[in-house]
Amino acid sequence: MLKDIFTKTTEQKILSLFVANPNKSFYGREISKKIKISLGATSNALRFLEKKGILTSERKGKTSLYTLKLPNPYIEHFKILNSLLVIEPLVERLKSISRRILLYGSYAAGTFTSESDLDLFIVSERRDEVLDKIGEFNRKQNIDIRPVIKKQTEWMQLEKTEPEFFNELNRGITLWEKPIDETGF
C-alpha cells in the first residue's frame, strides 16, 4: 500500500494522526502509543515539528499537550495526501467496476474537518456493487463516504444538465480513470 511509503518517518506518522484529528490535542505519550513508536523517538519528532512551526505545545504539569498549528498551506496539502492514502484501498476495489473515480469537496481542497463527509464521484454501470464496496469500507474505516454514482451516459451529459456540479468535479482530484478504448468508452 502507498501509505507505507508516504508515512514512513515518525514525523509523517505524527502528522497523519493530527490531520486525521485536526481539532484535537494530544500528549506525547498518547501520540507514541497511537503511532506505535517509542516515546524517545516520538519526543524528538515532536520537538522538531514544534521548532518548524507545525505544532504548538502547552505545558500541563510535567508533560506537554501538542496541537496542530493552523492554518498552514503545507498541512492542507498533507491533509489531501493523507486522505488519498486512506481511501486508496477502496479505490483499488472499485477499479474493476468503475470507469472513473473523483474526489471532490472539502477533502479534495484540504479544508475538511472531523465533521466532514468524504465526497466521491464514481462513473459506473454497477451502482449496487459500488455501494456495497463503499458500505463495507465505511464500516471498517469509520469514514463517512458520500458517493454520487452516475452511468457513463449520465457523466457525458453532466456538463449540460448540472454545470455547477460539473465545475465542482473539475476542481476535484481524479483518483482513477479507465483508459478509453477504440469505441470511445
Among the listed residues 49, 59, 60, 63, the one whose alpha carbon sits nearest the alpha carbon of residue 16:
49
pLDDT of residue 6: 66
pLDDT of residue 112: 82
pLDDT of residue 182: 54
CB 147 within 8 A of CB 131: yes
Tens of pLDDT, residues 56-77:
999 988 899 999 998 888 888 8
**Domain end position, chosen among 37, 68, 99:** 68
Number of domain units in the chain: 2
Q: Is residue 183 part of a domain?
A: no
Among the listed residues 60, 66, 70, the one whose alpha carbon sits nearest the alpha carbon of residue 25:
66
**Domain end position, chosen among 53, 68, 83:** 68
Tens of pLDDT, residues 156-167:
999 999 999 999
pLDDT of residue 130: 98
Distance, in Å, from the CA atom of 82 to the CA atom of 76, rounded to the nearest integer, reads 10
pLDDT of residue 14: 95
Question: Three-state SS for 132?
Answer: helix
The neighbouring-strand residues paired with 147 are 120
Question: Domain of 167?
Answer: 74-177
Low-confidence ranges of the chain (pLDDT < 70): 1-7, 181-185
Q: What is the CATH number of the domain that holds 64?
A: 1.10.10.10
Stated as kind and residue range, the H or E segment containing 177 is: strand 173-177
